[in-house]
Structure 1
Amino acid sequence: MAIDPKTKTLVQTLGVVVTMGALAWASVPFYNWFCRVTGFGGTTQVALADQGREILDRTIKVKFDASKERNMPWEFKPMQTEMEVRLGEEGLAFFEAYNPTDHPVAGQAAYNVAPYQAGGYFNKIECFCFTEQVLQPGERVQMPVSFFVDPEILEDGDAKFYKHITLSYTFYEIDLPEDVQAALDIDSGASGLPGGAENENGAPASVN
């Protein structure tokens, strides 16, 4: 039996969504790369700090959103909810992350922009999302992101009417870098038997 074209399109679309959801869960860096290449999910662009770009008088409001994967123990939030910038003007925003646990935790941020069509005009110059982040127990950090909205957005038939753009980040827990994990393994070994054992007086026990 032939499949109705609308049904086929719906099934294909759902397949893409499910597949990308699985990729996001399995490999955040790969997911970010895929989105940058394809523009999936309103992914932003990366730009250099000084490109001699034009700065217009017209402004646009940028809103900031933060979330985290269910199993990510960090606290994560934007330090400002919104700001208004001129098209082409560099803006600077900060997000705060805190590790309340008693052990180091590594994280990688996935990101996107809404509305999706605005992603191609939202350019990040520097961002904590470009690299993995490691927070030590009890560590709190403020992480910057510098950006600008390309004036070419005004040439887009739909995007030129946008009054605001929302930049969203989601942090996922990832494996600790090898050097951090190795240091933890050494510390763990030093505190274990026999080398890390103590005698009844609290002095290190000798090993025969």
Structure 2
Amino acid sequence: MDRDDLSRKNRRTALMAFGTVGGMVGLSFAAVPLYNLFCRVTGYNGTVQRGQEAPGATDRTITVRFAATTHPNLPWRFQPEQPAMTVRLGEEGLAFYTAANRAATPVTGISVYNVTPEKVGRYFHKVACFCFDEQTLEPNQRVDMPVSFWVDPKIAEDPNTRDITTITLHYTFFRTIEDAQRAGAVASAGPHVGRAGSRTN
């Protein structure tokens, strides 16, 4: 093999290597949105389903517990009004959370949510929820935030979930990035939320 042939072969090898690396980088950037889409479709990682009407109540009941967390950069008090409630499978339930702005200025927050055990996410459906949109509270304002939901009767047919008797619905409220920037209060740690139901780090 002469020197020109060797040079051409080296160039082809280099181009193939750069192409492979570029493809891997592209896949790594695509992985996060694809994973989020997968979670929304399948209910994996405790992601609940949304926007469907309840099919009608069955005889079996299940207990839904409610939990709340507020990120340190959000000057709100946020908590469930009821610790738990029992509903029939297929029956629409209505629960309330309360939020109060303890700041002297308006503050905008957004929440993310999940259910545990994670494997029941595909069977927990929300009809309406404050978590679908950003929420702005005036200074010292207190509001009730409703969430309407139902649990799919198919949860009782799935061998992996039919023995579950209690589900926990958990919300975490964050200050939106835009509001934190306006207030000059961007937190140095922890996730922030840029739009409803999604996180950015």
| Length-normalised TM-score, structure 2 | 0.68
2 CA distance for matches of 1:55 and 1:93? Answer: 17
Where do 5+ consecutive residues of structure 2 fail to align?
1-30, 184-201
Runs of at least 4 residues of structure 1 off by over 6 A? Answer: 31-34
Instruction: Indicate the residue corresponding to 1:72 in structure 2.
Output: 74
How far off its partner does 1:175 sit?
4.0
Residue of structure 2 equivalent to 1:81: 83
* Partner secondary structure for residue 73 of structure 2: coil
- CA–CA distance in structure 2, aligned partners of residues 45 and 138 of structure 1: 33
TM-score normalised to the size of structure 1?
0.66
* Mapped partners of 1:132, 1:89: distance in 2: 27
Higher strand share: 2
- Compute the displacement of 1:39 (Å): 3.2
Instruction: Tell whether 2:48 aligns with 1:44.
Output: yes
Q: For 1:149-160, list aligned pairs within 5 A.
A: 149-160=151-162
- Structure 1 CA distance for aligned equivalents of residues 92 and 178 of structure 2: 33
Q: Secondary structure at 1:123's aligned position in 2?
A: strand
Letter in structure 2 aligned against 1:58: R
RMSD after superposition: 2.7
Q: Among residues 116, 119, 132, which one is paired with 1:117 in the alignment?
A: 119
Alignment partners' CA distance in 1, 2:140 and 2:37: 31
- For residue 37 of structure 1, report the CA deviation from its aligned partner: 4.0
Aligned residue pair count: 152
Letter in 1 for 2:57: I
User: Any gaps of 5 or more consecutive residues in structure 1?
Assistant: 1-18, 24-30, 185-208
Change (3 A) 1:34 1:100: farther
Structure 2 residue aligned with 1:147, among 149, 167, 170?
A: 149
